[in-house]
Structure 1
């Protein structure tokens, strides 16, 4: 037990110097999280809970100011340290319901990020039906003038083919002043974003930020595949943020805690920087993401991946079609070759609603699929396969062979969505089925890469007995993550790619286990740049799989353009490379050679955006990576508008004497000029729909 430090009428329980953040307890036992110079009234109770029969003290759209949160009182705290982390647990209890809350705040020495989660225990004698629980609350966020007027709110919309679309608005445009002094209350509303159903990022990223005019930023991330929500609003003249997993109002989640039972919330992370704005904050969040995820050699090796799907075979692989692609991909320098959807399809009615057994299609591979996998290895590449493990097609024999309890059900009826049923991986038969599939593919077949896709939104979840759908979804996803981890325990060299129709399940519950994330299914090479450039806001660069699909009918400019977008992330190469002329093929190979040269730095670099986060229709887009030895910048020019040159600010290199070098394309006919005194890089791209990748060191 560590002692509290008294500060007037408050006692300081815990501090994070890099964040400038403190947990305080007042004379009544209420605990709040905030900065040292903030009024106590602006803080939010450290844990906010709604339960049936115990709602909010001020009714509205906000899920703070709850009756239980107001009553939760301090009863102790403790800190444990190891060589890498410090973990503080603050213990609270509600005297009415006898609900105990243990708030775990985890930090890394010298790092400006915090990870939080909450454990609830029913210590009373009666069941308690939970309806919402915060993972983390923070109050007292202000600008330099001590109010919220100078704050800017940032969030990201997400959709199929249109991922990572960042937007911003003045805080006061979303949370207007309401003359609290005239009414005696705050407003009933807030700014909120949330998920819907089983695509965790089908609507928005679980990431948001508040920035001030002086370069300060608060940035947060919720780590949940099964429902999340954040809200921000005004409390006592300052902004607050509350981070949630699933709740009843938005996700049909409620959870009954019987006496003695416990519930663990999803985790969330918080970053604060005092200067550097979003670029600096996303750099710190990148550090957290790297510290959070399961260690795997893929994060350091970053092999080049060829996948036969996008704009190429599109789910129609055969031995005849694959063999020339395998030879060409190996000659170009690919190191993994993935056979995507369709390899199991021997059904005249189509494979979409018949999947589930994951056996190779004899009609597609007359000599057996092993012949193709052996050819991949013979050309120096690791073979990979596409899999959609959580679904079973309605026409699949598995839909009848597995017990009803192995599938998602609501109201006692098996859920069907887009011709598929959904497995509940808490059921031993569902898990045994998938274990047998993966052990066959990764074991007997020697497959070293699995692309795990997820192409349906199954809705709020499944009802297993008396549980709510949202609780069923959370239970399934926790079992799914446990299954993935167990697969990697049995096959430690196997690489798992996380895909959800592109980037529709792009969260760090998944990405703490999976090695890569598909960023999009976008097939238009001119629409991909804003997704590729902003992908590092959602995922570390070395996990961000970006499609590059050069084609023999493309011009050299188009080939260079599509390749450029993947060079600062993970290359997902596709296209009919076997049909290219020598100049086209040489351009592809040269891009892969560049990537192999710079990839050791990508694995440790921090992202930044010299032109700011991209807009969907921006003519000029720029993405940078700041490494230990080099700074890399990709610049795209789309369309004829806005002239042939653009000035980029690269503040961290101001004063450095350097000469920009062109990495890609080799036949670059534009210019890149550096102004050391101002930290300005001026790039000219004389033709529209072209791109360049530069190194500055």
Structure 2
């Protein structure tokens, strides 16, 4: 093994340190700056890597942007180390502000084999007086060398909401940062633009990732790794622009964190990935980074999961309803059978929403043997049993709402926070953790549960101000405690697989996805609307974590059945639907899809996504996702037009149909611009393998 090499204590005179595809630069009279060498994303040296805003001092020059903070402009490098090891390069740079006593330790990690970098900042009070942090930029980077560079740059982001996740779009950067003749005024701009999350649904309005791309294809992709508040900020300078990535802030998220002398605050981590060629390549680099971030969690098997919720039992499971589904799921080749919501609720209650929190089986749902009988049927069929759980909430009518102390819940102004008849647990409190530890241990040890679908169906607002400087501070601390709890649960139960479901994908971020196995990509129940979600999800979620629902229904035609199954096959096949009611030919299609998925799934671990027709618009008639794999390229193509269609997939000369077999043929022929595709009337979808050579 090649041992690590180090460069230590570089002098504060003009210096630079290469960290993967990025470079740190600094000199005696300026803070450290992060650049992409020989790139339009190099910016100018005066754009410091870290901005620190406090209650005492905000900006050195008035504006609305998260740039040119008073503390940030005074930061000076005190020392640095660069360590190169087998798995990548790590740089640590320490900066200090002599006026405030604030010290910032920045760790930059560039995993080997990627053009991505992870940035982590730790702010320390090295002075003698307390101060209150109101915002810290996790990364700040310059864009362009001249104002003209902004004319040739576009901003790519994804809007998101329940049932309509991952809606990517690009806009000219100039539509956000208009040309206002800054050189003429000899000043930087005062305005800004960007994206902001609200509350605890980190991807409930916007996906916490995006990219910048120039006309020549050069691209810079980013992601923010938190389940609490985050903000991506753009502003322009006299000779370019600035991108700042932040966790929670005072103005946007009611965040503040007091630091006593000697105390530290760790900012939210972020990642950047660069490509000189294309947007898809920059996302591919971020994809490789995400795998590095997951580490050994990504080495586990990728089982086919059946879940009884979507378009099926809808939170009302019983022994009578489940046993036929168990039998048919096993016949189809399913490996995990997950019983979804409602298993804990007395059916006489009806609406059980406000009663959750005890997490014990409801005997009336499972007569003649209880839930154990269903679990045994799952095990006897050769599948692993799973259950739905919503660990962070307690309904106002649950016994747990009275048995747990007020301090175990989110509070504002001395009272519990209530959202839609539910309280929110605070995982900083030992009673909250103990309650869920006992729940999970009981389910694993009593029933042999091997899969947990962890849901999250309320957004509690700004957070909790109990034992926190401000509500946003409490929310950040809770999300970190919840992540730590997830890690400890899996350490106690290493065979347990955990799904990160959150009202579909309302909390799909890599603070949680780094320590969980699967992400439900949507709650969308209309199979015709799902393709743009499934095709776009790999831009922000690893292909092997994209749980795409397929829910065949007896009334579907063969092509409609294929359509929903292709959606499932485009990531991790996540089955639902009344499999016991399907026609024999439909059951054969399901078994065919499951068998194909088992052939393809290991390739997902190394796959990188691409979009031959571009990231799809929500109402696109034709949707196409590509996956580069070691065995060749796969294409997942959906035709959503009722009329016959003709379209061309550029960059592809020939392809074969992998799924379905023996169906109405699609015309596939090489053309001057790529693969010419013709489809018959009606909805249709296919899985294609691109022929090499």
Query: TM-score band (shorter)?
Result: over 0.9
Once the two structures are overlaid, the 10-residue window that deviates more, 108-117 or 24-33, is 24-33
Partner of 1:14: 17
Partner of 1:344: 344
Partner of 2:679: 685
Contact 2:355 2:398 in 1 (8 A): yes
Find the residue that maps to 2:353 and give its secondary structure. coil
Contact 2:669 2:676 in 1 (8 A): yes
1:3 positional shift? 6.0
Contact 1:665 1:692 in 2 (8 A): no
Partner of 2:477: 475
2:528 is the alignment partner of 1:526: yes
Find the residue that maps to 2:94 and give its secondary structure. strand
1:488 positional shift? 0.5
2:268 is the alignment partner of 1:274: no
1:487 positional shift? 0.6
The 1:646/1:610 distance shift into structure 2, 3 A limit, reads: same
2:279 is the alignment partner of 1:285: no
Listed one character per residue, the Cα deviations across residues 598-633 of structure 1 (whole Å, up to 9, x for unaligned) are: 112122111111100000000011001110112110
1:300 positional shift? 5.0
Find the residue that maps to 2:570 and give its secondary structure. coil
Partner of 2:207: 205
1:10 positional shift? 7.2
Find the residue that maps to 1:457 and give its secondary structure. coil
Listed one character per residue, the Cα deviations across residues 241-270 of structure 1 (whole Å, up to 9, x for unaligned) are: 111010111111100100000010111000
Listed one character per residue, the Cα deviations across residues 340-396 of structure 1 (whole Å, up to 9, x for unaligned) are: 000001152531100001000100001210100010111111110000000000000
Partner of 1:600: 602
Partner of 2:125: 122
Q: Aligned match of 2:407 in 397, 405, 408?
A: 405
1:151 positional shift? 0.5
Contact 1:520 1:531 in 2 (8 A): yes
1:152 positional shift? 0.8
2:239 is the alignment partner of 1:245: no
Contact 1:12 1:22 in 2 (8 A): no
Contact 1:148 1:237 in 2 (8 A): no
Contact 1:23 1:31 in 2 (8 A): yes
Contact 1:189 1:233 in 2 (8 A): yes
Partner of 1:581: 583
The 1:184/1:555 distance shift into structure 2, 3 A limit, reads: same
In structure 1, what is the Cα distance between the partners aligned to 2:406 and 2:437? Answer: 19
In structure 1, what is the Cα distance between the partners aligned to 2:255 and 2:436? Answer: 27
Contact 1:645 1:682 in 2 (8 A): yes
Q: Which runs of 5+ in 2 are unaligned?
A: 1-5
1:86 positional shift? 1.9
In structure 1, what is the Cα distance between the partners aligned to 2:662 and 2:106? Answer: 54
Find the residue that maps to 1:460 and give its secondary structure. coil
Listed one character per residue, the Cα deviations across residues 152-202 of structure 1 (whole Å, up to 9, x for unaligned) are: 111110100000001111111111111112322222112210110011111
The 1:3/1:363 distance shift into structure 2, 3 A limit, reads: closer
Partner of 2:455: 453
Aligned residue pairs total 682
Contact 2:162 2:523 in 1 (8 A): yes
In structure 1, what is the Cα distance between the partners aligned to 2:624 and 2:9? Answer: 48
Contact 1:665 1:693 in 2 (8 A): no
1:474 positional shift? 0.7
Once the two structures are overlaid, the 10-residue window that deviates more, 376-385 or 235-244, is 235-244
Find the residue that maps to 2:215 and give its secondary structure. coil
Partner of 2:297: 296
Contact 1:34 1:140 in 2 (8 A): no
Listed one character per residue, the Cα deviations across residues 65-112 of structure 1 (whole Å, up to 9, x for unaligned) are: 110011111111012343213211111000111000011100123420
Contact 1:5 1:11 in 2 (8 A): no
The 1:557/1:43 distance shift into structure 2, 3 A limit, reads: farther
Q: Write the mapping of 1:57-72 to structure 2, written as runs, cut at 5 A.
A: 57-72=60-75
The 1:476/1:294 distance shift into structure 2, 3 A limit, reads: farther
TM-score normalised per structure 1: 0.95
In structure 1, what is the Cα distance between the partners aligned to 2:43 and 2:353? Answer: 57
Q: Aligned match of 1:380 in 379, 382, 388?
A: 382
1:278 positional shift? 1.5
Find the residue that maps to 1:30 and give its secondary structure. strand
2:106 is the alignment partner of 1:103: yes
Find the residue that maps to 2:568 and give its secondary structure. coil
Find the residue that maps to 1:353 and give its secondary structure. helix
Find the residue that maps to 1:591 and give its secondary structure. helix
The 1:602/1:624 distance shift into structure 2, 3 A limit, reads: same
Partner of 1:258: 260
1:553 positional shift? 1.2
2:688 is the alignment partner of 1:694: yes
The 1:4/1:673 distance shift into structure 2, 3 A limit, reads: farther
Listed one character per residue, the Cα deviations across residues 28-60 of structure 1 (whole Å, up to 9, x for unaligned) are: 142212244578746411210110111112323
1:682 positional shift? 1.9
Q: Aligned match of 1:219 in 211, 218, 221?
A: 221
Q: Aligned match of 2:139 in 109, 133, 136?
A: 136
2:544 is the alignment partner of 1:539: no
Contact 2:9 2:79 in 1 (8 A): no
Q: Aligned match of 2:657 in 658, 661, 665?
A: 661
Contact 1:341 1:386 in 2 (8 A): yes
Partner of 2:332: 332
In structure 2, what is the Cα distance between the partners aligned to 1:322 and 1:343? Answer: 11
In structure 1, what is the Cα distance between the partners aligned to 2:491 and 2:89? Answer: 26
Listed one character per residue, the Cα deviations across residues 101-152 of structure 1 (whole Å, up to 9, x for unaligned) are: 0111001234200000101110100001110001111114359x97221111
1:61 positional shift? 2.0
Contact 2:105 2:123 in 1 (8 A): yes
Contact 1:42 1:140 in 2 (8 A): no
In structure 1, what is the Cα distance between the partners aligned to 2:611 and 2:373? Answer: 45
In structure 1, what is the Cα distance between the partners aligned to 2:379 and 2:93? Answer: 53
2:645 is the alignment partner of 1:674: no
